[in-house]
Chains A and B, each alone.
Chain A
Amino acid sequence: MRAVVLAAALAAGSAVSAGAAPAETDADAIAWLQRIYRSTERLSYTGTFVAQQGEQVETWRITRIVDASGVHERLEALDGTPREFIRANEEVKCYLPQTMTVKVERQLDTKPFPAMRADPRELAENYSIRKGETERIAGYDCQAIILEPKDKLRYGHKLWADLATGMLVKAKTFNERNEVVEQFAFTQLQIGGKIEKDQVKSRFAGKGRDWRVESAGMVAADLAADGWLLRSLPAGYRKITELKRNVGTSADVGHIVLSDGLAAVSVFIEPLAAKPSLGPLGLSRQGVVNLYTRKLDRYLVTVVGEVPAESVKRIANTLEYRRPQ
Chain B
Amino acid sequence: MKQKLSAMIDDAAQDDECASCVRRLKDDPELRATWDLYHLIGDALRGNTAPDIAERVQQRLAAEPTILAPRAIEGTRPRATWYALSMAASAAAVVLVGWMALPLFDLQPEAPSHAGAQLPEPPLVAVPVPQGASDYLLAHQRFSPSLAIGGIAPYIRTVAEENGAR
> How many Å from the CB of B166 to the closest CB on chain A?
7
Assess whether A148 is in contact with B111, with CB atoms less than 8 Å apart: yes
- Chain B residues within 8 Å of A247, by CB: 135-136, 139
Say whether B128 contacts A285, CB under 8 Å: yes
Q: CA separation between A272 and B21, bound complex, in Å?
A: 64
Question: Which listed residue (B109, B114, B147, B152) contacts A180, Cβ 8 A?
Answer: B109
Could you mark each residue 15-50 of chain A with 1 if its beta carbon is under 8 Å from any beta carbon of chain B, else 0? Answer: 000011111000000000000110011000000001
Known: A20-B117, A176-B114, A304-B140. A60 touches B156 (CB 8 A): yes
Contacts of A118 in B (CB 8 A): 145, 148
Given A105-B139, A171-B147, A259-B145, also A290-B126 (CB < 8 A) = yes
The reply to whether the CB of A67 lies closer than 8 angstroms to some CB of chain B is no
Q: Is the CB of A99 within 8 A of B164?
A: yes
Across the interface, do B136 and A291 meet the contact criterion of CB distance under 8 Å? yes
B154-166 contact mask (Cβ, 8 Å, vs A): 1 or 0: 0111111111101
CA distance A287 to B147 in the complex (A): 13
- Supposing A279-B132, A280-B130 touch, asked if A152 and B146 sit within 8 A by C-beta, the answer is no
Contacts A101-B162, A257-B143; A62 near B152 (Cβ below 8 A): yes
Q: Does B78 contact A (CB under 8 A)?
A: no
Cβ B126 vs Cβ A20 within 8 A: no
Q: How far is the CB of B27 from chain A (nearest CB, A)?
A: 34
Among B45, B140, B147: residue with most chain A CB under 10 A:
B140
Residues of B within 8 A of A147 (CB): 112
A157 to B47, alpha carbons, bound, how many Å?
Answer: 29
> Contact check: which of A98, A168, A284 meets B126 at CB < 8 Å?
A284
Contacts of A103 in B (CB 8 A): 135, 138
A104 to B59, CA, bound (A): 47
- B132 CB, nearest partner CB in chain A, Å: 5
> Contact between A158 and B111 (Cβ–Cβ < 8 Å)?
yes
Segment with Cβ contacts to B, from A78-86, A202-210, A223-231: A78-86
A42 and B160 CA atoms in complex are apart in Å by: 29
Q: Which residues B118-136 have CB closer than 8 A to chain A?
A: 120-121, 123-136
Please give the number of chain A residues whose Cβ is less than 8 angstroms from any Cβ of chain B in the complex.
106
Q: State whether the Cβ of B153 lies closer than 8 Å to any Cβ in chain A.
A: yes
Are the CB atoms of B155 and A92 closer together than 8 Å? yes
- With the chains together, A245 CA to B116 CA distance in Å? 40
Whether a CB of chain A sits under 8 angstroms from the CB of B144 is: yes
> Which chain A positions have C-beta within 8 A of B140?
264, 266, 289, 304-305
* A283-B127 contact in complex given A75-B152, A105-B142, A178-B113, C-beta closer than 8 Å: yes
B151:A262 contact, CB within 8 angstroms: no
Q: How large is the interface on B (under 10, 10 to 19, 20 to 34, 35 or more residues)?
A: 35 or more
Give the dominant DSSP class at A's interface. strand
Please give the distance in Å from A289's CB to the nearest CB on chain B.
Answer: 6
B124 to chain A: closest residue by CB: A309
Residues of A within 8 A of B116 (CB): 19, 150-151
Instruction: Decide: B129 and A284 in contact? CB cutoff 8 A.
Output: yes
Q: Quick check: B145 and A178 within 8 Å, CB to CB?
A: no
Identity of the chain B residue whose Cβ is nearest the Cβ of A56 in the assembled complex: B160
Q: How far is the CB of B54 from chain A (nearest CB, A)?
A: 12
Any chain A CB within 8 A of the CB of B73?
no
Flag if A264 contacts B156 (CB, 8 Å): no
User: Known: A73-B152, A257-B143, A302-B136. Contact between A289 and B129, CB under 8 A?
Assistant: yes
- In the bound complex, how far is the Cα of B125 from the Cα of A302, in angstroms? 17
Which residues of the partner chain A approach B121 to less than 8 Å between Cβ atoms? 152, 176
CB distance from A201 to the nearest CB of B (A): 14
- Asked whether A75 lies within 8 Å of B142 as measured between CB atoms, the reply is no
* Cα distance A119–B148 in the bound complex, in angstroms: 12
Give Cα A158 to B110, complex, Å.
10
Residues in A with CB closer than 8 Å to B132 are 248, 277, 279
Q: Does A159 contact B (CB under 8 A)?
A: yes
Q: Which residues on B sit within 8 Å (CB–CB) of A64?
A: 151-152
Closest to A313 in B: B124
B80 within 8 A of A: no
| Chain B residues proximal to chain A, CB less than 8 Å | 45, 47, 102, 104-105, 107, 109-117, 120-121, 123-140, 142-153, 155-164, 166
Q: Told that A50-B105, A77-B160 touch, could you supply 4 new A-B pairs with CB distance under 8 A?
A: A37-B150, A62-B149, A216-B139, A253-B139
Please, could you name 20 A-B residue pairs with CB atoms under 8 Å apart, sorted by A? A40-B150, A57-B102, A62-B149, A73-B151, A80-B160, A92-B152, A148-B115, A157-B112, A171-B149, A179-B107, A184-B147, A185-B104, A250-B135, A266-B139, A268-B139, A284-B127, A284-B129, A288-B157, A291-B133, A309-B124
